Amino acid sequence: MTNSSTHDNSAIDALPSVAQIVSSLDMRARKSLGQNFLFDLNLTRRIARNAAAQLTGTTIEVGPGPGGLTRALLLEGADRVVAVEKDFRAATVLESLLHAAQGRLELIEGDAMKTPLWEIGTAPRRIVANLPYNIATTLLIQWLEHASAFETMTLMFQREVAERITAQPGDSAYGRLSILTGWIADSTILFDIPPEAFVPAPKIVSSVVQIRPLEKPRFECDQKALENVTRLAFGQRRKMLRASLKPLGGADLLESADIDPQCRPQDLDIEAFCRLARMMAL
């Protein structure tokens, strides 16, 4: 048995390396699917260990690709991994892992954007993913709308996006993603991953971010209203809010929420944005 797991992982340990499987099947990375693969099992196991102290319940992986992170999750003791992948080639490349996992791994062939991850399996649920960068923030916002379904989300982003997610008011990266995440979750950057760890190597550094949903949002407001007001406010970051929020009532809306209409979006904390969202609903 492999150290941290109560499962018998000998069949997984006996598999050829992920790099060998990919090379034997000639699975080339596709840019259109945001494919940058991780082959280093030490690194993927580090990500899996950080995902949860115990991988009980359902571990949902988006975009398993050739399965480097999937394999790590199983080796680190995940009871059940459900992997959602859009690339139809994954079924072939994951075949030996599916077999070796002896029922602990399920592959859903489909688009994660159209898959309600919050309904998959039983709680506790967590998402662990090396996300395709082109759709990473859209997916995050969708999952935040169902945050209470997840114990944690341990996700890889470009470093610059990770900084935006975890930023606090006053930080230069503070913006819409910081507010939508901070309203309903704690988040932290766990560690960086250099470009050379990926095949092919991207141009930028990546970061693993852990998002831990709260039992309830920090401040009362409608999530969709918060999404809308932050979209408009940060769509024109340099403008005063009275101009960027004109479609929602501009200066009148701001005054009703007791906010100086001359403010720019980065001047407001999460509580102030929630006040605006509440006023919009009136």
Residue pair 56/124 in contact (Cβ under 8 Å)? The answer is yes
| Contact call for residue 109 and ligand SAM (CB under 6 A) | no
Distance of CA 258 to the CA centre of its chain: 34
Element (H, E) at 59: strand 58-62
Judged by CB, which is closer to ligand SAM: 19, or 232?
A: 19
Q: Does the CA dihedral 58-59-64-66 come out positive or negative?
A: negative
| Contact call for residue 76 and ligand SAM (CB under 6 A) | no
Judged by CB, which is closer to ligand SAM: 128, or 221?
A: 128
The β-bridge partners of 193 are: 206
CA distances from 197 to 127, 203, 215 (A): 21, 12, 35
Q: Which of 9, 12, 43, 63 binds ligand SAM (CB under 6 A)?
A: 63
Residue pair 104/63 in contact (Cβ under 8 Å)? The answer is no
| Contact call for residue 252 and ligand SAM (CB under 6 A) | no
Judged by CB, which is closer to ligand SAM: 1, or 201?
A: 201
Judged by CB, which is closer to ligand SAM: 34, or 77?
A: 34
DSSP three-state, residue 186: strand
d(CA 13, CA 281): 55
d(CA 272, CA 245): 14
| Contact call for residue 86 and ligand SAM (CB under 6 A) | yes
Judged by CB, which is closer to ligand SAM: 113, or 214?
A: 113
Per CB under 6 A, the segment of 31-39, 52-60, 157-165, 185-193 that binds ligand SAM is: 31-39
What is the smallest separation between the CB atom of 62 and ligand SAM, expressed in angstroms?
6
| Contact call for residue 69 and ligand SAM (CB under 6 A) | yes
Chain residues binding ligand SAM by CB under 6 A are 33-38, 62-65, 68-69, 84-87, 111-113, 130, 132, 135
